């Protein structure tokens, strides 16, 4: 759906050094206009650095950053069509809420009344109508975040940059704000670029996600594609959980790969949809998500294939039970998640059980 | 029974510290030139004397000029230095800050003599200007110390936010940084003013004979008959100091209340 949109930001082989430290190692990516884009990765992988190169707070050591087709090298943040919501919100503590929101309008040629109206509209948009006269420092975390949003959006930037805007909020509020941010982005149609280390947040909110490790983009895809067909085991593990088993490719022809995996046996996989990654020296691996396998109870029929296993660990979550089971002929336990259904017992550790699985849900890492 | 050693010590300490200051107003109103008990009766003669002393008036005027200019200069220089040392890392910034702070620990005698030698050798006439020069040198480290902590507690992203919202470096400084470090600047001004006002050594070395409060008081103390006048003058100075400090603390607390920042303790 986003393929026909024009490009808003383009990175061409961007490198950034902090002294000797190579923080960005050849970033190539395009971000489309009106897209909700996330930079996802573990702490220290360079997400904030990359975001700040867009805002103009960090220069780059080599490469090109284009915003709306223009090379922005040497352009200061105050002359870029971007605005930022800082992780600490950076609300000016000596000003009122409306002075904060109207801060960027100082050089705006509009009349005082028009500006005041714009401030009121921006406050209403983030659900803070009537808060204008309050002292900014007396606001709660969630309210500060809204003020920061209003302050940035009032300038109608081409790109809104958000550096972990929700990480300081508690879980409930964070989930509410996620939904509100998505709605807000649809409403204003501005390109949002969100930095987060929370994979769930990225999956929920984004049109596309760039997963970063150690200064590089490991994979850039839609949430669904990232979850279903991760390019590397590292990505697979960072987004959700994946079980891995050693495997051997027996043959590959006509878009079908014949493989044999420990504990699962022989099967045929669709190369285009299920085989991924560069050839790794340690040999191939198959992976499956915990929810794609099921424990089969009593006489229940397998939907596709089944293997025997022993229950090693049981983690009961109320609506779900996570089982760690060891498939016969394998060394490491696999995680299988089961939705709890009324009347079905929770298995004990040590129980022998059948595990139902389906070759179509597997991913092969070459 | 346990002897409250610490409490006794504290009380003794406070008595030792403040008795002289309490004695000051007592003898300022005592009707005798001798500073001794028993008290001889009430008089406001000494206050009348100092109010009509032309030399004292000139000394006061000079002191106010010198201290005002010195404190403004040192707070300004302190702002620049503190800003530079907290925000920018440049080669040699460490040693440079050390050199700026050195006069704080260097004996004033040394500073004063060195300055005197230099000034005389390049042929600059001693005047209030040379005194101001010396005072700025002595006060600036204190300003830097106070302002460095003010600048350090400033969140860097506030500046970046201002820049992100379209302001250049100068307007960012005026609109965001300055208001937020204002309590620190007021503290620096006040401390510098106080240090400059009672600074004696540099004033004495670098002065041209024009009276300033500190040198004037020192001169008067040598004549017993003027001692009660000095007592009266001291009383006035103590009163003014208390008012000034109270005002400064008021503004500092108001600043803290206005920005909602944590109270990290002023000097009161
Ligand atoms: N100003 C700087 N000087 C030197 N090194 C820096 C600087 N800023 C960041 N780095 C380093 O660059 C790397 C990437 O930092 P960055 O802040 O982009 O990480 P991040 O992905 O945002 O991590 P986090 O999730 O912890 O915020 C880190 O190893 C960090 O130590
Ligand atoms: Mg970061």
B160 neighbourhood in chain A, CB within 8 Å: 57, 77, 84, 86, 90
CB A44 near ligand 1, within 6 Å: yes
> What is the per-residue pLDDT for B94?
84
CB A45 near ligand 1, within 6 Å: yes
Question: Which candidate, A154, A44, A132, places its Cα nearest to that of B164?
Answer: A154
B166 neighbourhood in chain A, CB within 8 Å: 78, 104, 106-107, 155
B183 in Cβ contact with B252 (< 8 Å):
yes
Split chain A (366 residues) into runs of 10 and give each run's mean pLDDT.
Answer: 77 95 95 96 94 94 94 92 92 93 91 93 90 89 91 94 89 88 92 94 95 95 94 91 92 89 91 83 88 85 85 92 93 92 87 91 91
Q: How far apart are CA A309 and CA A297, in angstroms?
A: 12
B237 domain residue, yes or no: yes
User: What Rg value do the Cα atoms of chain A yield, rounded?
Assistant: 25
> What is the per-residue pLDDT for A104?
93
Length of chain B: 268
- Closest-CA residue of B relative to A161 is B164
B192 domain residue, yes or no: yes
Q: How far apart are CA A274 and CA A287, in angstroms?
A: 10
Q: Do A138 and B168 touch (CB under 8 A)?
A: no
A65 in Cβ contact with A54 (< 8 Å):
yes
Residue B202's CATH number: 1.10.3720.10
- Closest-CA residue of A relative to B157 is A90
Q: Which domains does chain A have, with CATH numbers?
A: 7-233 (3.40.50.300), 241-365 (2.40.50.140)
Question: Which candidate, B198, B109, B97, places its Cα nearest to that of B140?
Answer: B97
A158 in Cβ contact with A149 (< 8 Å):
no
Residue with tokens 């669709």: A270
> What is the per-residue pLDDT for A345?
84
Owning domain of residue B181 = 54-259
A63 in Cβ contact with A11 (< 8 Å):
yes
B163 in reach of chain A (CB within 8 A): yes
Q: How far is CA B60 from the centre of its chain?
A: 15
Question: Which candidate, A99, A150, A148, places its Cα nearest to that of A124?
Answer: A150
ipTM of model over 0.85: no
Token representation of residue B148: 């460095």
Token representation of residue A209: 């996600």
- pLDDT tier for residue B177 given thresholds of 50, 70 and 90: very high
- The pLDDT tens digits of the residues spanning B14-42 come to 999 988 888 888 888 878 777 777 777 78
Question: Which candidate, B201, B203, B194, B196, places its Cα nearest to that of B240?
Answer: B194
Q: How far apart are CA A308 and CA A96, in angstroms?
A: 66
Q: Which residues of A touch B (CB under 8 A)?
A: 55, 57, 76-78, 82-84, 86-88, 90, 92-94, 103-104, 106-107, 135, 137-138, 151-152, 155
Nearest CA to ligand 1 atom 9: A49
For a ligand 1 pocket test, name from A15, A42, A49 the mutation site with the most ligand atoms within 8 angstroms of its C-beta.
A49
pLDDT at B150 over 90: no
Nearest CA to ligand 1 atom 31: A44
> What is the per-residue pLDDT for B267?
47
- pLDDT tier for residue B164 given thresholds of 50, 70 and 90: very high
The count of domains in chain B is 1
User: What Rg value do the Cα atoms of chain B yield, rounded?
Assistant: 22
- pLDDT tier for residue B225 given thresholds of 50, 70 and 90: confident
> What is the per-residue pLDDT for A2?
46
Report the percentage of chain B scoring pLDDT > 90. 29
> What is the per-residue pLDDT for A252?
86
B190 in Cβ contact with B244 (< 8 Å):
yes
B14 domain residue, yes or no: no
Entry pTM: 0.82
Atom of ligand 1 nearest to the CA of A212: 21
Beta-sheet pairing, A208-213 with A36-40: parallel
pLDDT at B254 over 80: no
B217 domain residue, yes or no: yes
What is the Å distance from ligand 2's center to A45 Cα?
8
> What is the per-residue pLDDT for B260?
64
- pLDDT tier for residue B268 given thresholds of 50, 70 and 90: very low
Burial of A282 (0-12, 13-18, 19+ CB in 10 A): exposed
- pLDDT tier for residue B208 given thresholds of 50, 70 and 90: confident
């Amino acid at each position: 759906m986003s393929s026909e949109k024009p490009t808003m930001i383009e990175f061409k082989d961007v490198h950034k050094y902090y002294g000797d430290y190579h923080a960005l190692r050849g970033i190539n990516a395009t971000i489309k206009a009106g897209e909700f884009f996330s930079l996802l990765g573990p702490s220290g992988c360079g997400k904030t650095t990359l975001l700040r190169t867009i805002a103009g707070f960090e220069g780059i050591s080599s490469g090109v950053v284009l915003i709306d087709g223009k090379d922005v090298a040497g352009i200061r943040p105050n002359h870029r069509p971007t605005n930022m919501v800082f992780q600490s919100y950076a609300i000016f503590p000596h000003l009122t809420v409306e002075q904060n929101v109207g801060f960027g309008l100082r050089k705006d040629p509009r009349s005082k009344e028009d500006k005041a109206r714009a401030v009121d509209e921006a406050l209403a948009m983030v659900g803070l109508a009537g808060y204008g006269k309050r002292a900014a420092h007396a606001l709660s975390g969630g309210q500060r975040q809204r003020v920061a949003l209003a302050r940035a959006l009032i300038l109608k930037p081409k790109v809104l940059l958000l550096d972990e805007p929700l990480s300081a909020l508690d879980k409930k509020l964070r989930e509410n704000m996620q939904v509100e941010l998505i709605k807000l982005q649809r409403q204003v149609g501005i390109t949002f670029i969100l930095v987060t280390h929370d994979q769930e947040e990225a999956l929920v909110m984004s049109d596309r996600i760039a997963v970063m490790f150690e200064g590089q983009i490991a994979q850039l895809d839609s949430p669904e594609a990232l979850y279903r067909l991760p390019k590397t085991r590292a990505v697979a593990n960072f987004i959700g959980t994946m079980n891995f088993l050693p495997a051997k490719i027996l043959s590959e022809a006509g878009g079908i790969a014949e493989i044999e995996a420990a504990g699962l046996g022989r099967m045929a996989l669709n190369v285009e949809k299920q085989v991924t990654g560069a050839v790794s020296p340690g040999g191939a691996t198959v992976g499956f998500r915990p929810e794609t396998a099921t424990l089969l109870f009593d006489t229940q029929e397998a939907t596709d294939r089944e293997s025997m296993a022993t229950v090693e660990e049981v983690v009961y979550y109320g609506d779900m039970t996570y089982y760690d089971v060891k498939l016969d002929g394998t060394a490491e336990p696999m995680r299988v998640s089961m939705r709890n259904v009324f009347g079905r017992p929770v298995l004990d550790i040590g129980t022998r059980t059948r595990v139902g699985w389906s070759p179509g849900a597997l991913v092969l890492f070459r | 029974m346990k002897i409250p050693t610490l409490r006794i010590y504290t009380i003794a300490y406070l008595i030792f510290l403040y008795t002289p200051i309490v004695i000051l107003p007592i003898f300022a109103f005592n009707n005798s030139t001798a500073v001794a008990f028993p008290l001889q009766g009430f008089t406001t003669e000494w206050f009348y004397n100092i109010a009509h002393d032309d030399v004292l008036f000139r000394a006061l005027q000079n002191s106010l000029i010198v201290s005002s200019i010195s404190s403004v200069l040192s707070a300004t220089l302190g702002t620049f230095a503190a800003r530079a040392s907290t925000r920018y890392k440049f080669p040699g910034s460490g040693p440079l800050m050390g050199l700026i702070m050195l006069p704080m620990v260097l004996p004033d005698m040394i500073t004063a003599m060195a300055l005197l030698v230099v000034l005389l050798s390049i042929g600059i006439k001693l005047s209030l200007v040379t005194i101001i020069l010396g005072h700025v040198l002595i006060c600036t480290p204190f300003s830097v110390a106070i302002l460095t902590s003010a600048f350090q507690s400033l969140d860097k992203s506030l500046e970046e936010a201002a820049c992100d919202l379209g302001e250049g470096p100068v307007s960012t400084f005026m609109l965001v940084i300055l208001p937020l470090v204002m309590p620190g600047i007021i503290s620096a001004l006040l401390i510098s003013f106080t240090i400059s006002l009672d600074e004696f050594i540099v004033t004495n070395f670098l002065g041209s004979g024009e009276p300033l409060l500190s040198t004037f008081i020192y001169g008067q103390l040598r004549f017993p008959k003027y001692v009660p006048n000095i007592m009266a003058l001291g009383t006035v100075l103590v009163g003014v100091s208390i008012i000034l400090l109270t005002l400064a603390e008021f503004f500092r607390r108001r600043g803290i209340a206005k920005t909602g920042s944590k109270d990290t303790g002023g000097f009161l």
